[in-house]
Amino acid sequence: MEGEKDPKSSMIVAGDDQSQKKNPSPYDLNSNDNPGSVIMQVQLRGENYDEWSRAVKTSLRARRKWGFIDGTIKNPEEES
């Protein structure tokens, strides 16, 4: 039973010691995930595309969201 995942959340519940370890899902959002938040300081100006694209990729990887861009994270099922 140790390390069993609670099916209704992304929490892993340890057996007897009642400690909980958060296993973040890429579908989880926090208060910093909103359309108005600045995720990087580099602004796209055309000639700096390479720098900008690296900054975007790094930022999205740090937030565990890059998989939505490269297709490794699939859309959730309609029933979920």
pTM: 0.61
Domain limits, the chain: 43-75
Q: Reply yes or no on whether the pLDDT at 1 is more than 70.
A: no
pLDDT digits (tens, 9 = 90+) for 12-59: 555 555 556 677 788 888 887 888 888 888 999 989 999 999 999 999
Whether the CB-CB separation of 44 and 53 falls below 8 Å is answered with: no
What is the per-residue burial (b if ≥16 Cβ within 10 Å, else e) of 5-36? eeeeeeeeeeeeeeeeeeeeeeeeeeeeeeee
